[in-house]
Structure 1
């Protein structure tokens, strides 16, 4: 019986690993370097977040999206009560919660972020954008923290939140064109667009001018400030987790330079950090 349970949980973690391997090459590249038990925990948490994303992205109408998130919220509630549904992600997370001092709140915050995406309102300013970024990405940082800093006595809550926000700002800056063209979303704050007199029509026409670059760079420099601010505290992560955290942070930060190298073209080009560049980053921080 115990052997069967171990085989099942092994398969559950493999299921989660395939999800991160398919959807995020950069995260997989960084976190697959963790000791096996920690890597498995990260894969399970990522799989939950991917499922939350897909609950919104894979259906078309607002009603369907809200229903999908509500259903996932109900599953999370059952999980919290100790009655998880029979699914690889929930079985894997049950094991993660047994092994680490996890908090359920960031998981609910992640679903709040999904609802914010469904009932989307353009952020009025950078502060509103960062609030949104907390719910969709800072929450992920808080989910990962008990795994990556399991031995730490220092409160790393703000570090995890800041790093998550920096990564979300990076996502937004990489995906300006895709977000607008595919899902009609503008995450660039209204105040910045107004200040620079950059309009929705400019976005439609994929105009990359000095105004657009100033808006883009203001957000990029905010993200880089947050990346810089947390560097010093990476030493408080578990010794076996410091390199993967540094690596994931450095690779994500590298996306900003990838956009710059492409002359800020985040409309017609897919900006990414190549496997060769990932290896260079890895060697530089090892």
Structure 2
């Protein structure tokens, strides 16, 4: 007997999201591999959804992005409500949303942040915080729903540190990508920052804010279920290393080139975290 046709369809769409993750992000793929195996496909499904929404606003410059995003949003909610989509990314995502009871307001906030990318080139304080929440913190909360596997008490106790971790990651991305965001998309996310006069004092203020987020997130990582702790710790250490590298560079370097962590360094981080956690050091 072969696999049940419905299960085969579900599995195939989840594998599509896995492929998307592998093609778009080596660091995220490495992090997922260190999660318990049962969590792999659900997290791939979340990443696939988030990545494709992001592609609409960041990549398809010759298309009507607003119309594409509206259609994607409508299709997302229909997939969740009907429990099916012929778009493999949306089908995989709705499986996970319905299985783990991911709150619709998280999805709404995420899609709103994608709309903000179409409308805004500069961000004031309130827009900046709304964007960080919608583009990064809610993604952390979606993943946390999966990690907690229905334990509402655990989810509530870890909400704040999960948000802080997502916030730290996104702000590091903003610093790393400050050049391409400005030159390719005309965007500066940091409130009150002028790309052309970006200096050391502005950079230090941003870095202090990011470090505060990292510090608050660490407590939550320690309290995660064992099935998720290693993968999240790897992502945390990867971003902390990237952040440390950015901190060492003068503003004129990061406004002229994108800072990277070599793949060999990512793998050594992964191994170090793996053995540290297994030996009870993490």
Q: TM class, shorter-chain normalised?
A: 0.7 to 0.9
- Pairwise CA distance, 1:2: 4.8
Aligned 1:56-71 pairs, distance under 5 A: 56-60=57-61, 64-71=64-71
Could you tell me how far apart the structure 1 residues matched to 2:46 and 2:173 are? 19
> TM-score, normalized by length of structure 2?
0.87
Q: Which has the higher helix share?
A: 2
* CA RMSD after TM alignment: 2.2
- Pairwise CA distance, 1:262: 4.2
Is the partner of 1:60 in helix, strand or coil?
A: coil
Could you tell me how far apart the structure 1 residues matched to 2:93 and 2:166 are? 21
Partner of 1:240: 227
Is the partner of 2:254 in helix, strand or coil?
A: coil
Could you tell me how far apart the structure 1 residues matched to 2:75 and 2:116 are? 19
Structure 2 vs 1, CA of residues 260 and 223 (structure 1 numbering), >3 Å: closer, same or farther?
A: closer
Could you tell me how far apart the structure 1 residues matched to 2:222 and 2:197 are? 44
Aligned 1:100-179 pairs, distance under 5 A: 100-125=100-125, 128-150=127-149, 152=151, 153-154=153-154, 155=156, 156-179=158-181
The number of residue pairs the alignment matches comes to: 269
Structure 2 vs 1, CA of residues 124 and 15 (structure 1 numbering), >3 Å: closer, same or farther?
A: same
Could you tell me how far apart the structure 2 residues matched to 1:36 and 1:55 are? 30
Partner of 1:253: 240
Alpha-carbon displacement from aligned partner over 1:203-248 (angstroms, at most 9, x marks no partner): 6xxxxxxxx1221121122111111112112233221111111111
Structure 2 vs 1, CA of residues 97 and 179 (structure 1 numbering), >3 Å: closer, same or farther?
A: closer
Would you say the 8 A contact 2:21–2:47 is kept in 1?
A: yes
Could you tell me how far apart the structure 2 residues matched to 1:41 and 1:185 are? 32
Partner of 1:12: 13
Is the partner of 1:241 in helix, strand or coil?
A: helix
Is the partner of 1:81 in helix, strand or coil?
A: helix
Work out whether 1:213 is the aligned partner of 2:215: no
Partner of 1:93: 93
Would you say the 8 A contact 1:151–1:238 is kept in 2?
A: no
Is the partner of 2:57 in helix, strand or coil?
A: helix
Aligned 1:30-41 pairs, distance under 5 A: 30-41=31-42
Would you say the 8 A contact 1:102–1:143 is kept in 2?
A: yes
Structure 2 vs 1, CA of residues 183 and 121 (structure 1 numbering), >3 Å: closer, same or farther?
A: closer
Work out whether 1:25 is the aligned partner of 2:26: yes
Would you say the 8 A contact 2:162–2:220 is kept in 1?
A: no
Structure 2 vs 1, CA of residues 77 and 98 (structure 1 numbering), >3 Å: closer, same or farther?
A: closer
- 31-40 or 139-148: bigger deviation: 31-40
Alpha-carbon displacement from aligned partner over 1:36-61 (angstroms, at most 9, x marks no partner): 33110000000000111011123226
Would you say the 8 A contact 2:147–2:225 is kept in 1?
A: yes
Is the partner of 2:188 in helix, strand or coil?
A: coil
Could you tell me how far apart the structure 2 residues matched to 1:200 and 1:39 are? 38
Is the partner of 1:97 in helix, strand or coil?
A: helix
Work out whether 1:230 is the aligned partner of 2:217: yes
Ranges in structure 2 where 5+ consecutive residues have no aligned partner: 278-282
Would you say the 8 A contact 1:150–1:238 is kept in 2?
A: no
Would you say the 8 A contact 1:80–1:104 is kept in 2?
A: no
Would you say the 8 A contact 2:133–2:163 is kept in 1?
A: yes
Ranges in structure 1 where 5+ consecutive residues have no aligned partner: 194-198, 204-211
